[in-house]
Amino acid sequence: MKIIGAQLIQNNGNYSYSCNYKLRRNPLFINQNYMGGLSSDVVSFGTRENPAEVIAENRNAGFSKCLSTIKEIKDLPCIYCGEPMMPASMKSRLALSMANARGEELAEKLLENRKYLKGIKRNIAQKIATAAIKYPDENIQEILTRLAPVYKAELEQEQLEVLRNIRKKYSGAFNSDIEKKLFQSILYETTQWINNESDAGVFKRKTFLHELKNILYLPVFRNRSVIKKIISEAEKMPQSFESESAFMVKYYRRSPREIVEQLFYEATSTLEHIKPRTAGGVTAPHNLAVACARCNNLTRNNIPMTKFVDMHPEIVENIKKNLRAILNDAKKPVVDENSCSNPRRKRAVYNKMVNDRAGYKDYVSAIARTFQQESEGKISLKEFIKE
Ligand SMILES: [Zn+2]
């Protein structure tokens, strides 16, 4: 184990190493937050209660770098939901080409990639496609701007509805006059804010929740259990990943590329810690699976694997699907002929892929073992584990 010139930092009870860019590129070291060059030497301190293991130098030998290639496999089934994922590089290429597309071309590109759209994003894409045919001179951002006013009105109604529910349920929950007064003024000012009648600018969910917590946790408010209930009610304010109107209003002023990237965000392949970092899991290949951004950020949410598999028994089959797809990918032709025009670059990509693929079996075996361990045997993956 070798750590060069790094600095131990503590952040909210988490310990990690920080180092400058040059050191990050050193293959003997990676920072907890740096996912670029996964190496065999990784240090992660986890939390104070749950100190992470320190990996021995050769634990990930043989497959230490193949994960970046696996993450680029097109349509790899997500380890949890089993749906096809879009590699990050493909997403940026798509965003680039769609940013300038208009009319039929834009509509076609959206519908062609329909399988990568999840939840509300599918409806939104359908609406954009319909509008693109109707207004063939407009790009995706101009179309969103055209559609935005209707959604703005809709979003305001959804937000006011959340406030009405809070008022209805909790107006009678306070005893002292000062509590009652403050509570009423929060409701009044938030209503003004949503209706754009205050100087606070556009209503923002995150800012609202932050400020609400600041006020409600003042010592004036004595009944903590009521406060908690009010906050969880307030968290029902629509969010852009689950409400069409919230998405439209949040993104119509962003660049065309960002809009496309956000549309396809959920299907993007990401690295997921099998043993969560909050439980001391390390950022090393044997603890990293490839999951879609939706499952990684929303579904799994640091739940321990033993519990998670009880909540989502379907993941057992999907894990097998993912691992099988990785092993099958190694049998496909190495470089896509159209992937690169520069012959030298192509040779480099070729060599990297050949090297990386040699590690696939070891990688699959290692994460199969981690899944078994972390689920306390509830997920059985014997067929993938090399002795
Ligand atoms: Zn998923």
Mean pLDDT taken over the chain: 84
**Per-10-residue mean pLDDT for the chain, 387 residues long?**
39 44 36 34 41 42 76 95 95 93 96 93 96 96 95 96 96 92 95 88 93 93 93 96 94 95 95 89 88 92 94 97 95 68 77 82 93 96 92
Burial of 369: CB neighbours in 10 Å, binned 0-12, 13-18, 19+:
middle
Would you give the distance in Å from CA 309 to the centre of its chain? Answer: 20
- Span from the CA of 93 to the centroid of ligand 1 (angstroms): 21
Give the pLDDT of residue 347: 78
Distance from Cα 268 to the centre of ligand 1, integer Å: 9
- Under 8 Å between Cβ of 69 and 357: yes
Query: What pLDDT score was predicted for residue 1?
Result: 32
Going from the Cα of 318 to the center of ligand 1, the distance in angstroms, rounded, reads 9
Structure tokens at 186: 């929060």
- C-alpha 131 chain-centroid distance: 29
Distance CA 169, CA 387 (A): 59
Q: Report CA(256)–ligand 1 centroid distance (Å).
A: 25
pLDDT for res 336: 60
pLDDT computed for residue 81 by the predictor: 96
What is residue 156's predicted lDDT score, i.e. its pLDDT?
96
191 CB burial (10 A radius; 0-12, 13-18, 19+):
middle
Q: 291 C-alpha vs ligand 1 centroid, how far in Å?
A: 5
Phi/psi at 95 (5° precision): -60, -40
**Each residue of 132-165: b (16+ CB within 10 Å) or e?**
beeeeebbbbbbbeebbeebbebbbeebeebbee
Q: What is the Å distance from ligand 1's center to 24 Cα?
A: 29
Which residues have their alpha-adjacent CB atom under 5 A from ion ligand 1? 78, 80-81, 292, 295
Q: Is 82 left (phi over 0), alpha (psi -120 to 50) or beta?
A: left
Q: What is the distance between the alpha carbons of residues 169 and 379, in angstroms, rounded to a whole number? A: 43
Scanning the structure block, which residue is given the tokens 């076609």?
108
Rounded Cα–Cα distance for residues 186 and 209 (Å): 12
- The pLDDT assigned to 335 comes to 63
pLDDT in tens, 260-319: 999 999 999 999 999 998 888 888 888 999 999 999 988 898 899 999 999 999 999 999
How far from each other are the two terminal CA atoms of the chain, in whole angstroms?
25
Integer angstrom CA distances of residue 160 from 165, 186, 188, 233, 237: 9, 13, 11, 12, 9
d(CA 258, CA 139): 13
- If you measure from the C-alpha of residue 30 to the centroid of ligand 1, how many angstroms do you get, rounded to a whole number? 26
Which pLDDT score, from 0 to 100, does residue 204 have?
Answer: 93
Distance from Cα 300 to the centre of ligand 1, integer Å? 9
Q: What share of the chain is helix, strand, coil (3-state, %, to 5)?
A: 55, 5, 40
Provide the 10 A C-beta neighbour count for residue 327.
Answer: 14
- Residues in CB range of 280: below 8 A, 6 or more apart: 44, 46, 47, 50, 51, 52, 53
Residue tagged 């699976």 (tokens): 289
